[in-house]
Structure 1
């Protein structure tokens, strides 16, 4: 039986300092001992003595458990995606906020959306504790800076149409927690992506995605299974959101931006596949539409000219199927 999604029911903005689940020092050993992401694997004390191939097999076996953990959260992921799409259709943005590995993965996913899906600048944003410097160097103290999270979010001038996803393996990183709490107070949609159940971050958000991957090969190194799970979930969220927004046509990335030779070749291939034509026809259609894949497909399938294709797509918010339906009557 499929698991029941976490219902996006109203919840408090977050535990108070007096809440026993929110100790004043989240880094104290007793707190860390309670987290699945910090637990120690049975038999892990002597892994450094294993032959390299056996150690590699052990790590690979651990990694194979991650997709199953993500699968258990698919209903929660789907519910969050549908809520995000509703906001983005109103002009909202998707914002990731995290520290360390979690923050880097959010920035990575945001950075891949413009070339892949043709998103507008600033439509998908990654915020990382410590700023751009933290992408290539560890800025560990930055994750405790709640004020910086609020300031980073305020710099985006958030609105109720926006969505903020706090990403934290522990589910208690102050930067991610403050971003979610502040976003929710401003009326934005909030989602928590964590590696532990019952976290303060999950309690602070309207939607919670809790992918419990368990103890790491190296105790507490959440750049391993927990980070892999975050990457899979972020891939899923952004991809499904873009599919629902009409950024694809079937499995084809029809909003791809052809900014280099590889992407120009991909654009030609996408047009040819979508229209069952050859490279020459695809090239001619792309030339007529300034390289815009959706417009080129409309030209070939509906027999319209470039201005008409552009008008059809504008009328249907860029959704190619709907534009085709009107063009073909």
Structure 2
């Protein structure tokens, strides 16, 4: 096995989630710090987590992904130890980067568990990296974030096959008559307007999500579909991307739609915003409407996802070509002619609470 030239390690950087009930409230306070979220809103989200025993599946799913990446790296003959760090809960990225320094890591790649552009999907990961390096201080390893990968053909293929598998779960009378609905995490309209380099015109996040939906639908052999949003958490006076998935199910029912397959295009893994907002709330709404409902799997458990990560690593090692089939730009720290720019994806000023 050979050591990867120029890099000593891979850091898998994610959002984080509680792994026992006592962690839920402090985790949510980390997520919402500086956002002025009222305590009663946090209380409601705490109850969502308690519905699942106070445990988010995200950390366990990320550990599974890391194990798959280790297997694929070994198969490729790449000796690259993997570290795991989070933005909002343990293992915190600051602690992970400190461990990397203690282990003698000098230069590492960073794989974020977000495929997208925009503030939350990309820039905030750059801020996580900078914050962790500042916290560690002298000797902190250089960290290079891997590019956005919303249109990578391996991930597109995994989503397309997941749609077919979900459709097969529908009752036979409606199995060939379902409506395909893609969903991704909503963000404020103002944040989407700022997503991407200023010269690119904004709305990079929503454009990438729309393009990924188009690519997956085409790979699944489906011409007509919908793109909606989920998981909004802001005050009602602030416009967010719409329509919401549950509102859209109402609209589809009014049109006589009897079955839906929902594909969570915006998510790598089945973390809480998938299992609550889709598998709980949206499925309950469909049941109320007497609508057959099936949810496609996220790609993190598909072996192609880990293969994609190794391909992305290969780009930085100089032994892989840049693969992506989308027409919307993808940015990042790689030699693909589309580096992240100064003032890219700046977070809009949050309105003060009344």
TM-score range, shorter chain: 0.3 to 0.5
TM-score normalised by L of structure 1: 0.32
- Larger Rg, first or second structure (1 or 2): 1
Higher relative contact order (CA 8 A, sep 6+): 2
Which structure has greater helix proportion? 1
TM-score normalised by L of structure 2: 0.31
